Each structure stands twice: as C-alpha cells, then as structure tokens.
Amino acid sequence: LYAERGEHGRALSVLRQALELEPGNAVIEHNLGRSLQALGASDEALLHYASSLALGGPRASTLANMAIAYYETGQPAKAAEAASEAVRCDDTLAPAHAVLGAVALESDQPEEAVLYLHRALSLDPGYAPAHLSLGLALRALGQDDEAAAAFHQALRLAADEEMRLRVKQLLEELHDQQRAAIGH
C-alpha cells in the first residue's frame, strides 16, 4: 500500500521487515525491487528481481521491471534481453515494448523504435516514457511536428519533475531548431 501511494521509503522499510520474517518470498523480493527502483537504486533492485525470478515470482512483470532497471543502469543489451523475454511471457506489457523501442533508438534504429513505441502506446496510451521515446525517435527521423506532439503528451503525463524538466528541454531544443530552420 505504501508503494502504491508513492511512499517507497516507508514501503522499503516494511518490505525489509517482511523479508526477515519470511525469507525466500518471491513476491516480497519483487516488491522490494520495485520500491528500490522507484528510489533510484536500480542496481540493488536488479538483485531483488533476480531473487524473485529464482523463487518463481511473477515472471512477466518482474522481467519488464528488470528491463527498465537494466536500461536505467546503462545496460541496453541486458535491457533488450529482459524486455524480449517479458514480451514472450506477456505481449501486453507496454513498458517492455517501450524498453525495446528505447534500445532500438539508442542503436540508431529509429524506424524500429517507432514500431515498438507505437505498440507500447496502443497498450497503454498514458505511458509517459513511451511518449518521450517516441518523440526522440520521430525527431531522429526528421518528423519534428510529430515529435513535438509526442513530447507535449509526455509532458502532460509526466509523473515526476525530473521528466518534466527533460521534456521541456527537448521541446525548447526542437523549437530552437525549427526557428533556426525558418531563419535560414
């Protein structure tokens, strides 16, 4: 309940106590990973996700969360592997498709990225990270108006200030580019 309310520090404390009382519980390991990841401790979250999987925990959602954590820690190959496996388990996980899109974009494959990101958004139109990545992919393809629309949607849906600031910066850069192109 604490995690659902965004109180991940409190959730972490309770989950650690629960794990002491019931070691080897896959669901507790999974939830510990989620709260750690939400607090920016993705490396430690990966350890708990791996424990959850080893204990037979929720496979598809754990793999999708692992994919995000791997991506956040700069491990795109592992992120793509975990996301692909998550999609094989459950093709309806928008975050897994979004990670595959982000990895494709990072690998200079914006056309492929757009396909993954459109799939992610067809599954969850409110998934802000997919809108952000879609904007980046469309910008890489020179589709500036569509990129701006995706960035505006990401800004509208952003859950935290860090993402809002990043999107605002990207929109400003895009508008500067467009103004410079008109001026030439």
4 vs 85: CA distance, rounded Å:
26
Mean pLDDT by 10 residues, the chain (184 residues): 91 95 95 95 96 93 97 97 97 98 98 98 97 97 96 94 95 89 73
Q: What is the pTM of this model?
A: 0.90
Identity of the amino acid at 93: L
pLDDT of residue 184: 59
pLDDT of residue 58: 84
Compute the C-alpha angle 139/137/118, nearest 5°.
125
The model's pLDDT over 69-118, given as tens digits with 9 standing for 90+, comes to: 999 999 999 999 999 999 999 999 999 999 999 999 999 999 999 999 99
